[in-house]
Amino acid sequence: MIRLLARWLGTSALLLFVVSALTFVLTALAPGDAARVILGKNGTDEQYQALRAQLGLDDPLPLRYWHWLSGALHGDLGVSIYSQQSVTDMISGRLAPTLALVVGGLLFSAVLGIALGIASARSRGALSRATDVLSLLGVSIPTFWLGFILVIAFAVALPVFPATGYVDFASSPSEWARSLVLPVVTLGVGGVALIAKQTRDAMSKQLSLEYVNAMRAQGLSERSIVYRHVLKNAAVPIATVLGLLFTGLFSGTVIVENVFALPGLGGLVVQATVSHDIPVVEGVALVFALVVVLTNLVVDLSYGLLNPRTRMS
């Protein structure tokens, strides 16, 4: 366990540094800058140069990154170049919709995908082939296209759910849930197919082993064999896919939040990128990177709980 945590801390620190440095450099090298966005087309060259100096955009790139990094190490992500708001406050204000969307998408994918995978492994035949087809469709359908189809079907033709917007949970739990249904389904459909196929494959492998026949010979019920033994032994690869899916869903929020006009981190980073607001882009990238390293730790720790033989001293 100590070795696992030490390795996690080392790789996490390196990953966060690399992600922050690459994000800063790539955003800074993109055409245009924040000063030009703020002044617009009518700004003079003198005003442009003065604003660049005021915002610190004239400083060398390594120096600008060092200033940001030293502040981030002390918990200060800086202020937005465009709005002069605290980046930490901007992220915290947008974090709830993104987390609700991602967690909802993960639960939707996990519950439906595992159920479909178990049924496919037990029945084989047509349902197993259907799982393969579903997996192919799930990873092939563009997210934005699926979102538009769901809006047309369930917000326009059948006005069951709102097409856009987000309602805070504290204001109305029921409206909060309704505002998330279409975005969660849009985000989670691809994950359903992925988890269903992984669950089917892992359980099919376990069902073909001798210990399953031995338990059947001892008179254990099929339900007990499948859910208490086979599913537990197949849980490690499923947990791995769930971890990968959770981190992948954060990147998917960039598209889904813009399709459904949700005020989350995905929409924030798109706006910041367009306006070349480097501190905001850096802050959101750092949050996403932290999600990745924390998820990897949780997945690694879950291996020891699911399969004691994988525990590390």
Comparison of pLDDT for 180 and 31, the residue scoring more: 180
Strongest mean pLDDT among 57-61, 116-120, 121-125, 173-177: 173-177
Identify the architecture of domain 87-310 in CATH: Orthogonal Bundle (1.10)
Please check whether residue 178 is in contact with residue 161, taking contact to mean a CB–CB distance below 8 angstroms.
Answer: yes
pLDDT of 220: 85
3 state SS for 165-224:
CCCCCCCCHHHHHHHHHHHHHHHHHHHHHHHHHHHHHHHHHHHCCHHHHHHHHCCCCHHH
* CA 294 – CA 131 distance, rounded (Å): 31
Between 305 and 261, whose confidence is greater? 261
Maximum average pLDDT range among 101-105, 123-127, 129-133, 134-138: 101-105
Listed by start position, the domains of the chain span 87-310
For the segment 50-95, what is each residue's pLDDT rounded down to a tens digit?
888 887 888 888 888 898 889 888 888 888 888 889 999 999 989 9
